[in-house]
Amino acid sequence: FLAQVGLASGPQFAATVAESGFTLLLLGAVIMLALILATMIAGRLFGIPADDLFGIISGVTGNPAILVYANRAIPTERPDIGYAMVFPTVTVAKILFVQIAAAVLGT
């Protein structure tokens, strides 16, 4: 079933990527960098230690690869705690944001 769906939607997907793929990729990179920068600035303003901040940034971005790097670079459990505190809330917020944006933009 999944193979058939993939084969059937392949040409349309390729056309969409060819038409607006670079723009969407660039927009996603800008949004991600802005999110990381805002989190880092807020963390420093509130005096959050660096090991906690690594975990919080990985949770905000939803990127466990950052968490793995932080766990290797910092020998404490603080990055795991920061990730666990932030990830569920940010995931729900992202889902709500997409629903609100879709309603506002009328799509």
Instruction: Write out pLDDT tens, residues 47-102.
Output: 999 989 999 999 999 888 989 999 999 889 999 999 999 999 999 998 998 889 88
Q: How many residues does the chain have?
A: 107
The single-letter DSSP state of residue 48 is -
pLDDT range class, residue 107, cuts 50, 70, 90: low
- Residues whose CB falls within 8 Å of the CB of residue 31, separated by 6 or more in sequence, listed in order: none
Report the predicted TM-score, pTM, of the whole model to 2 decimal places.
0.72
